Amino acid sequence: MAIATINPYDGNHVKSFSASTAREINAVLAGAAQAVPDWSGMEFAGRAALMRRAAAVLRSGSGHWARLMTLEMGKTAREARAEIEKCAAACEFYAAHARDFLADTRIESDAGLSYVSFFPLGTILGVMPWNFPFWQVFRFAAPALMAGNTVLLKHASNVPQCALAIETIFRESGFPDGVFGLLLISGSDVGKVIADPRVHAVSVTGSEEAGRSIATAAGSALKKTVLELGGSDAFIVLEDADLEAAAATGVASRYINGGQSCIAAKRFILVDPVARDFIELFRRKAGALRQGDPAAEDTDVGPMARADLRDHLHRQVRESIERGAVALMGCAPAAGPGFFYDISLLDRVTAGMPAYDEEIFGPVAVMIHARDEEDALRIANDSRYGLGGSIWTRDIPRGERLARRLQSGSAFVNGLVKSDARLPFGGIKASGYGRELSVLGIREFVNAKTVWIS
């Protein structure tokens, strides 16, 4: 894929970028390797001061950084500014807590003294996606950098200006040369970078296909990976749920970022007694959303990021309808320029349809009917994905009991599934492995060394 900015709002080409040459790639790798000793040896307070500066640079340029996201992948202006604030908050969180998260942990044993101490691995490569082009990078980079690692970024090819902006943010924040490096390369070149001995581990956020490919390359080089891949999150509505709250949250979760979120609610699993009422509420609220120019302040849903993504989504919807699903709203590409897909609602989805079996990455809500609680849980777990999920019920102990049985990396009761720097984030099954954020996230890319003293 060409490294270029294509405006999803009108489909116009904005700017192309030259891929990094072999000499430039080597220089970035060499710079990262050279920076490791001084950066890893710096006191936490020194790294934290720079990370707080990064938060300040993010906030001071919030409008500019947000406009880049709107231009390159169609994120609405309001959501883009919120993403910048979330990045700044994550920088501050790790600046405040990294020292405690990586403090020596004493363990009683037959030694006079024994403990676990945490040391950086070296240089970590981040292969990051386009849908949250700042947040995905910072939630990986902030903990990795605060742990004393240097970081390399290979960003998605359709958000090169966002990638260059992130490089600028770290440079303007005063991070030493080599601590953060940018590689403008295609996906086909990632394997060569992984194989380089100056790279010690890889963090990937992206598709299941990309995760499998990168994990294979890293595995052959015996390098650790953390994979945050696709999701098809269940949104279970039980007969005692607050339907008004569930529908409002469901619409927000499904259509945020144009439906292009790994943890968006994608499979709405409704028990029969409330299915009809919930769908009507959901349909009314979804129909009130404004779809249009993502730069406009009153726009709720922008375009999809690329034409091929929209075409793939429509194939999934069309094939599901051919197999018996019912289109209640939208379910077609929008007329006019740009990569818009109508705000859509697909009912009566069952196993064997793409809308049931595959991840639906776009503004299409999928309604699945269940007989009762146990049937709903069965359907929720009948997926090769396991990123997140939510359960809606007024009976909190019931919700907690079902949440513990949900096969996912996170489970929310009466709430929006979201990532939060204070809580571990990641999936199971085809949604990947390892964790980002919180104490578990910063400990992914360190050497947990046992020290035993007689």
Positions marked active-site: 228, 262
Phi and psi, residue 113, nearest 5°: -150, 130
Q: How far apart are CA 199 and CA 201, in angstroms?
A: 6
Q: Which residue, chain included where needed, has tokens 């990638």? A: 163
Q: Amino acid letter at 89?
A: A
DSSP calls for 322-371: HTT-EEEE--SBPSSSSS-B--EEEES--TTSHHHHS---SSEEEEEEES
> Would you call 249 exposed, middle or buried from its count of C-beta atoms within 10 A (0-12, 13-18, 19+)?
buried
Do residues 125 and 32 lie in contact, with contact meaning Cβ atoms separated by under 8 Å? no
Contacts of 1 (CB under 8 A, 6+ apart): 157, 158, 186, 187
Do residues 76 and 301 lie in contact, with contact meaning Cβ atoms separated by under 8 Å? yes
Q: How far apart are CA 191 and CA 205, in angstroms?
A: 16
The DSSP 8-state label assigned to residue 425 in this structure reads: B
Do residues 359 and 385 lie in contact, with contact meaning Cβ atoms separated by under 8 Å? yes
Q: How far apart are CA 5 and CA 132, in angstroms?
A: 15
Residues in the chain: 454
Q: How far apart are CA 314 and CA 318, in angstroms?
A: 6
Q: Amino acid letter at 177?
A: D
Q: How far apart are CA 312 and CA 132, in angstroms?
A: 20
Q: How far apart are CA 60 and CA 288, in angstroms?
A: 33
Q: How far apart are CA 228 and CA 99, in angstroms?
A: 25
Residue 376 sits at the vertex; the CA angle it makes with 375 and 377, to the nearest 5 degrees, is: 90
Helix axes 44-60, 77-101, angle to 10 degrees: 170
Contacts of 94 (CB under 8 A, 6+ apart): 48, 51, 142, 143, 146, 421, 442
Token pair listed for 368: 């699945």
Q: How far apart are CA 362 and CA 304, in angstroms?
A: 7
